[in-house]
Amino acid sequence: KAGVTQTPRYLIKTRGQQVTLSCSPISGHRSVSWYQQTPGQGLQFLFEYFSETQRNKGNFPGRFSGRQFSNSRSEMNVSTLELGDSALYLCASSLSLAESTDTQYFGPGTRLTVL
Amino acid sequence: AQTVTQSQPEMSVQEAETVTLSCTYDTSESDYYLFWYKQPPSRQMILVIRQEAYKQQNATENRFSVNFQKAAKSFSLKISDSQLGDAAMYFCAYIGNSNYQLIWGAGTKLIIKP
């Protein structure tokens, strides 16, 4: 099976712009989660989607949003970019059938740099 | 709120030796899972091992094993016969049944000396 894929792998934007990141889960996986990784704050949870519904959201401003499509692919959007949004954005997928605690498998990440 | 603590920012070990990485967590939940993930320089987060809280038996995966002490809320990772390819950041993570999110430790950088 193909793993989790994320596009693009690298992105450079300027302050004030917006950006959309994409994540394709492992085939058959219905849950997609997003995490932000920075040297200062470590790994922080952004949000989780299951069957096109957001089930949980982390403590991030409203500039960060996401959605999930019927094929389980997910996108996250960051509007009005700030320098502090520079980070590695990781997407993870899991089966998440009866259990919410299915193992999460990660994509290679998108490295976002805001200038 | 749940927390995960990794108190060793960096560890080093001689190739072929054994090393143990520490992790403690705090939770009031009774049903949860614990994970160790490895992140090499490529930044790809790779699952190393998973432990279900309801299982008393410690999980093992080849050279990787855990020492899960539920009462002490401790979850250490032992790597036997360390190899150069084991060099990476290792993250301990927790997930409960209530909110679908992984809660992460700060990570331990593992250096393998040839």
Q: Tell me, yes or no, if A58 comes closer than 8 A to chain B by beta carbon.
A: yes
Q: Can you tell me the distance from the alpha carbon of B103 to that of A54, in angstroms, rounded to the nearest whole number?
A: 18
* B112 pLDDT higher than 70: yes
pLDDT in the model for residue A98? 52
pLDDT in the model for residue A82? 97
User: Residue B51: enclosing H or E segment and its boundaries?
Assistant: strand B46-52
Nearest-by-CA chain A residue for B40: A108
pLDDT in the model for residue A6? 97
Q: Tell me, yes or no, if A60 comes closer than 8 A to chain B by beta carbon.
A: no
Query: Under a CB-based contact definition with an 8 Å cutoff, are residues B10 and B25 in contact?
Result: no
Amino acid at position A82, single letter: E
* B25 pLDDT higher than 90: yes
* Residue in the block written with tokens 């299951």: A50
- CB within 8 Å: B101 and A45: yes
